[in-house]
């Protein structure tokens, strides 16, 4: 308890850091596992760019099976998507460059690709020439990971998850969901939904050089490739983003990591024979990692982290300090009301043709689900409070994600919406669930 306590105390004292879960493995054994209510062990939140590591695992298997090679040119792998004229620098881009995000572009091609019709994403990539030769620079670029996923789909004849399940995920005991685009293609760069325990297992698989229960899941040599710096990154960036990039993995001050937006981490620490899995909902990710290096690493070196049993909870509608974060992608809510009841509050609204009623407790959180008109059940936790000025505040935590929607209802029934952190890809409430 003493070993883990300083870290917990430090993150709890910083309102900008909203931890959701923490799992520490040492030699494959869980030394500590904590969840901040209303989060639970069986939640499958979206891990955002942690997904890239799983796409890279699929690429490793595909190369090992001879579907393509690291040196294959991307134009040769997807010839049906080429525009009439292709810039010479585009022809230089190989699978290696996709994996290391070293295509030579000075900015990400993601916006241009995703502004195009879905069926033309690859064609748009080929129509966007890099400013410098492939291999000359690193630019973080979701579009190149999508291209990698598309190559795996085309060459294997399978969806990405169907390809990865028997080779890696099922042997690991991971039951993943993966968000798709309207054409049914997994996003590849984002969108995988797994539990915190799954996140830790993935890190442990890397720590064990791709072996699991005596079976090789990641082909030999690939963990070294993925976890070795393949290209330098911006030296002026945050410390843990300035140490280099491997194959869809970031190098860290200690070890390396699977890394997703808003602080979803699987920290692989080979020299400590440990893995630290973290889910959170915040934008101060370097601050969070600094606390890991300051508090958890010394604890790993000096003591056991087992036995920590603190009662941990996210602040509720009465106590949560709301971050000043960029706001976008709001749901289209109408007729929003919060009404007091004998044992709490009822939150009501209409959204996407559905009428929703959620019962919140007088204090703390209540787990429930939101039924949508298309039959989708979106798991949520709710909290509400009556304010001294006669207004109401309601929080809806989408437990398959890091996202909490805040509703502030004025005396004039006006409604102001805000997110703790905005969704990265969102077209409706149904997107905020694992499916």
pLDDT digit string (tens) for 39-52? 999 999 999 999 99
- Given a cut of 80, whether residue 1 has pLDDT beyond it is no
∠ at Cα 174 (118, 203), nearest 5°? 95
User: pLDDT digit string (tens) for 66-102?
Assistant: 999 999 999 999 999 999 999 999 999 999 999 999 9
Contact 212, 220 (CB under 8 A): no
Q: Of 93, 77, 52, which Cα lies nearest the Cα of 261?
A: 52
> Cα separation of 288 and 259, whole Å?
13
Q: How confident is the model at residue 428 (pLDDT cuts 50, 70, 90)?
A: confident
Tokens of 182: 């309207």
From CA 429, how far away is CA 333, in angstroms rounded?
Answer: 10
pLDDT-derived band at 304, boundaries 50, 70, 90: low
pLDDT band at 120 (very low <50, low <70, confident <90, very high): very high
How confident is residue 295, by pLDDT bands cut at 50, 70 and 90?
A: very high
What is the SS3 assignment for the chain?
CCCCHHHHHHHHHCCCCCEEEEEEEECCEEEEEEECECCCCCCCCECHHHHHHHHHHHHHHHHHCCCCCCCCEHHHHCHHHCCCCCCHHHHCCEHHHHHCCCCCCCCCCHHHHHHCCHHHHHHHHHCCCCCCCCCCCCCCCHHHHHHHHHHHHHHHCCCHHHHHHHHHHHHHCCCCEECECCCCCECCCCCEECCHHHHHHHHHHHHCCCEECCEECCCCCHHHHHHCCCECCCCCCCHHHCCCECCCCEECCCCEEEEECCCEEEEEEHHHCEEEEEEECCCCHHHHHHHHHHHHHHHHHHCCCCCCCCCCECCCCCCCCCCCCCCCCCCCEEEEEEEEECCEEEEEEEECCEEEEEEEECCCCEEEEEECCCCCEEEEEEEEEECCCCCEEEEEEECCCCCEEEEEECCCCCEEEEECCCCCCCCCHHHHCCC
pLDDT at residue 385 tops 60:
yes
> Which position has the higher pLDDT, 305 or 249?
249
Q: In Å, what is the CA distance from 416 to each residue of 16, 54, 326, 363?
A: 21, 38, 15, 22
Question: Could you read off the pLDDT of 164-204 as tens digits, one per residue?
Answer: 999 999 999 999 999 999 999 999 999 999 999 999 999 99
Q: Quick check: 432 pLDDT over 60?
A: yes
* Distance from C-alpha of 418 to C-alpha of 407, rounded to nearest angstrom: 7
Instruction: Examine the pLDDT at 303 and tell me if it is beyond 80.
Output: no
Residue % of the chain over a pLDDT of 90: 89
Residue 237 near residue 251, CB atoms below 8 Å? no
Q: What is the pLDDT of residue 301?
A: 82
Distance CA 29, CA 23 (A): 10
109 phi and psi, to 5 degrees?
-90, 5
- Give CA–CA dist 32/307, Å, rounded: 7
User: How high is the mean pLDDT of the chain?
Assistant: 95
Confidence of residue 422 (pLDDT cuts 50, 70, 90): very high
Q: How far apart are CA 367 and CA 365, in angstroms?
A: 7
């Amino acid at each position: 308890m003493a070993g883990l306590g300083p870290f917990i105390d430090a993150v709890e004292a910083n309102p900008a850091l909203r931890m959701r879960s923490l799992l520490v493995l040492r030699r494959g054994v869980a030394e500590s596992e904590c969840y901040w209510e209303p989060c639970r062990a069986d939640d499958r939140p979206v891990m955002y760019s942690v997904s890239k590591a799983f796409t890279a695992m699929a690429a490793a298997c595909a190369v090992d099976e001879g579907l393509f090679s690291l040196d294959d040119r991307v134009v040769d792998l997807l010839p049906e998507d080429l525009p009439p004229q292709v810039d010479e620098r585009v022809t230089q881009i190989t699978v290696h460059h996709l994996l290391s995000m070293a295509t030579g572009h000075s900015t990400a091609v993601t916006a241009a690709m995703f502004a195009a019709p879905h069926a033309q994403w690859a064609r748009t990539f080929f129509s966007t020439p890099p400013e410098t030769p492939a291999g000359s620079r690193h630019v973080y670029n979701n579009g190149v990971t999508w291209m990698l996923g598309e190559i795996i789909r085309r060459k294997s004849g399978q969806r990405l998850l169907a390809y990865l399940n028997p080779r890696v995920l099922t042997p690991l005991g991971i039951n993943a969901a993966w968000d798709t685009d309207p054409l049914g293609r997994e996003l590849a760069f984002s969108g995988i939904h797994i539990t915190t325990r799954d996140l830790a297992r993935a890190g442990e698989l890397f720590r064990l050089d791709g072996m699991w229960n005596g079976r090789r899941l990641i082909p030999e040599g690939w963990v070294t490739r993925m976890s070795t710096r393949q290209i330098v990154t911006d030296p002026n960036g945050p410390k843990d983003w300035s140490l280099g990039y491997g194959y869809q993995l970031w190098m860290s001050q200690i070890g390396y990591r699977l890394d997703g937006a808003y602080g979803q981490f699987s920290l692989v620490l080979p020299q400590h024979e440990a893995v630290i899995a973290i889910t959170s909902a915040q934008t101060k990710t370097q601050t969070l990692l600094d606390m890991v290096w300051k508090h958890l690493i010394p604890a790993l070196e000096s003591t056991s982290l087992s036995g920590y049993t603190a009662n941990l909870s996210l602040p509720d509608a009465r106590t949560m300090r709301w971050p000043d974060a960029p706001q976008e992608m709001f749901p289209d809510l109408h007729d929003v009301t919060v009404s007091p009841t004998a044992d709490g509050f009822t939150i009501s609204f209409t959204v996407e043709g559905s009428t929703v009623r959620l019962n919140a407790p007088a204090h703390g959180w209540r787990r429930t689900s939101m039924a949508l008109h298309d039959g989708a059940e979106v798991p949520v936790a709710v909290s509400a409070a009556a304010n001294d000025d006669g207004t109401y505040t309601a929080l809806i935590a989408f437990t398959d994600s890091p996202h909490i929607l805040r509703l502030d209802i004025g005396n004039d029934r006006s409604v102001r919406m805000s997110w703790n952190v905005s969704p990265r890809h969102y077209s409706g409430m149904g997107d905020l669930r694992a499916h």
